[in-house]
Amino acid sequence: MNRAPAKKYRGALFDLDGTLVDNYAAVHSCLAEVFAEFGIVAPGYDKVYRSVGGSILITIKRVMDGKLSDELAESIGNRYMELFPRHIYNGLKPMPFARGILESLDSAGVKLACFTNKQQPAAEDILKRLGMYGFFDVVAGTTLLSARKPEARFTISALESLGLGAGECVGIGDSPYDYSAARSVSMDSAIVATGADSFESLKERCPSAIGIFKDLKELAGVVFGITL
């Protein structure tokens, strides 16, 4: 049975990687190829997994522990974006309950945005591949140097595309970047501990979130009153 949520939202902004999909294998394999081209030892999967978030430039700098210049990181990032279409479907899979929550919210008339720091074409291709694209009213992705989470202007742009205000929506993600992107415009934030950040870390770094949830099923029940 569905439970009545504390607030009824007209819109929801969903993060992609770590929230709706697992695309980590593709990110790792693409970075490995690009780093090899630049004569840099490729990072291991675990290092990449722990570094994803913010943007591909941030990920590149994290896996190299901040030892790259901005210029070199940008060159690697540009090459990554050129090569990523070769890797995009490597290991791709939906996160548990992702399709269920999207289908339920869409059926309930909630307006949905995919709100991601992933490059726009890749985000759209992934959603189409997994049969999720049709649930979204808006796909808000990035270019290498465009505005991105947690910048308020990126969140505002996504909300304007949905035609809704921050107070009518909830941002859903798996990282402090998602939390900060929502809170930058005073939008509610709900976080799932399904990405690289631990439950304990998220609880500490996302203090005003309406909840830190183990998965989308738990989030759906508490935030939207939906049983998956």
For 102-133, write each residue's pLDDT tens digit.
999 999 999 999 999 999 999 999 999 999 99
In sequence order, the β-bridge partners of residue 88 are: none
Question: Number of structural domains, the chain?
Answer: 2
Residue finishing a domain among 60, 87, 114: 87
Report the pLDDT averaged over residues 167-176. 97
Residues 128 and 195 placed together within one structural domain of the fold: yes
Q: Is residue 174 part of a domain?
A: yes
Alpha-carbon dihedral angle through residues 83, 88, 89, 92, given to the nearest 10 degrees: 140
Residues 65 and 83 placed together within one structural domain of the fold: yes
Mean pLDDT of the chain, nearest integer: 94
CA distance 68 to 47: 16
Residues 139 and 100 placed together within one structural domain of the fold: yes
Centroid of chain to Cα 124 = 13
Report the pLDDT averaged over residues 208-224. 97
Residues 73 and 141 placed together within one structural domain of the fold: no
Residues 108 and 193 placed together within one structural domain of the fold: yes
Are 220 and 228 a contacting pair, CB within 8 Å? Answer: yes
Q: Is residue 51 part of a domain?
A: yes
Residues 164 and 179 placed together within one structural domain of the fold: yes
- How much is the pLDDT for 2? 44
Q: Which residue has the higher pLDDT, 18 or 54?
A: 18
Q: Is residue 115 part of a domain?
A: yes
Q: Is residue 82 part of a domain?
A: yes
Q: What is the CATH number of the domain that holds 33?
A: 1.10.150
Q: What is the CATH number of the domain that holds 169?
A: 3.40.50.1000
Task: Please give the structure tokens belonging to residue 108.
Answer: 């309930």
Residues 35 and 104 placed together within one structural domain of the fold: no
Q: Which residue has the higher pLDDT, 134 or 54?
A: 134
Q: Is residue 4 part of a domain?
A: no
For 143-163, write each residue's pLDDT tens digit.
888 899 999 999 999 999 999
- How much is the pLDDT for 1? 35
Report the pLDDT averaged over residues 166-180. 97
Residues 157 and 220 placed together within one structural domain of the fold: yes
Full-model pTM: 0.92
- How much is the pLDDT for 58? 87
Residue finishing a domain among 41, 62, 87: 87
Residues 162 and 211 placed together within one structural domain of the fold: yes
CA distance 44 to 28: 8
Residue 4 has pLDDT above 60, yes or no: no
**Residue 38: which domain range?**
24-87
Residues 155 and 210 placed together within one structural domain of the fold: yes
CA distance 14 to 173: 6
Percent of the chain exceeding pLDDT 90 equals 86
Residues 78 and 100 placed together within one structural domain of the fold: no
Residues 109 and 81 placed together within one structural domain of the fold: no
Q: Phi and psi dihedrals of 14, rounded to 5?
A: -100, 130
Residue finishing a domain among 62, 87, 112: 87
